Structure 1
Amino acid sequence: MIINQLSVFLENRSGRMHEVFDILGNVNINVSACSLADTSEFGILRMIVSDPGEARRILKENQFSVNVSEVISFATPNTPGALSKTLKILSEAQIGIDYLYGFSPGDKSFIVLKTDNVQKTIDEFQKHEMELISASELYKF
């Protein structure tokens, strides 16, 4: 249920993100989901990739600062209010959200979520019969 996500710290300059995707593509590593957050000086590129260990190694080899963190992913209906219901579960369990990002390829939305307590989040989602998504399932999209 836990997914290893890469966070790559990038200088905020043209072409830097292209370098990351070019390096990963050249070694046949697929990016299933990503998000970019930026400030005026740097950005954090968060990615779910097909081989996190190899991606981390090759990016570090190419002078990128890379961290691996544990996230989870879940599915929710792609309907108004569905995410709100999920967030209420976390709020009532007093689980803090560090960040989330998602995509909706059809009738379902897939959300990647980093909380202050990943295992408690999994336990709460299982208790509420939420659909948790594994890394291998994310790679199919």
Structure 2
Amino acid sequence: MKIKQISVFLENKSGRLAAVTRLLAGHGINIRALSIADTSDFGILRLIVDDPDRAYTELKGAGFTVSLTEVLGVEMPDRPGGLSNILSILEENGINIEYLYAFIGRGDNGALVIFRVEELDAAIDVLQARGITVLDGEKIYRL
């Protein structure tokens, strides 16, 4: 139920993001979702890819500052209140969200949200207990 996320520390200068995506493409690694947070000096690129272990190895080998982080993938209805319901469940159980990003699923009118939470196992347990679909990494990697 846990998903491996790649985080890459990037200097905020022209071409750095292109270099990451070019390297991944050159090794046949497909990006499934991404998020980037930046300041004036640097950014953190967060990626879900179809082969996270190989992506980590290739990025590290190319000199990028990279880490693997476990995150949570949740499927929810793509309608008003879908995200609010998930957030309410986590709030009720005292689970803090560090960050999240979302993307629309294919064909089933659903949305997928990637969460980084402080208590990953507890979050999985409470969400599943409330009937929320928590996706395993292999399903996300194959999207």
TM-score (norm 2): 0.95
- Matched residue pairs, number? 141
> Structure 2: how far apart are the matches of 1:77 and 1:43?
31
Q: After superposition, what is the alpha-carbon deviation per residue over 1:10-40, rounded to whole angstroms, capped at 9, x for unaligned?
A: 0001110010011011111111111000000
* Alignment correspondent of 1:108: 110
1:83 lines up with 2:78 in the alignment: no
* Alignment correspondent of 2:125: 123
Contact 2:50 2:142 in 1 (8 A): no
One-letter amino acid matched to 1:110: L
> Structure 2: how far apart are the matches of 1:109 and 1:53?
25
Contact 2:4 2:52 in 1 (8 A): yes
* Alignment correspondent of 1:24: 24
RMSD over equivalenced CA pairs, Å: 1.0
Unaligned runs of 5+ in 1: none
TM superposition outliers: structure 1 runs of 4+ over 3 Å: none
One-letter amino acid matched to 2:117: T
One-letter amino acid matched to 1:91: E
Q: After superposition, what is the alpha-carbon deviation per residue over 1:51-75, rounded to whole angstroms, capped at 9, x for unaligned?
A: 1111111111111000111101011
Q: How does 1:38-49 map to 2 (within 5 A)?
A: 38-49=38-49
> Structure 1: how far apart are the matches of 2:43 and 2:128?
33
One-letter amino acid matched to 1:49: V
Unaligned runs of 5+ in 2: none
Q: How does 1:63-102 map to 2 (within 5 A)?
A: 63-102=63-102
* Alignment correspondent of 2:138: 136
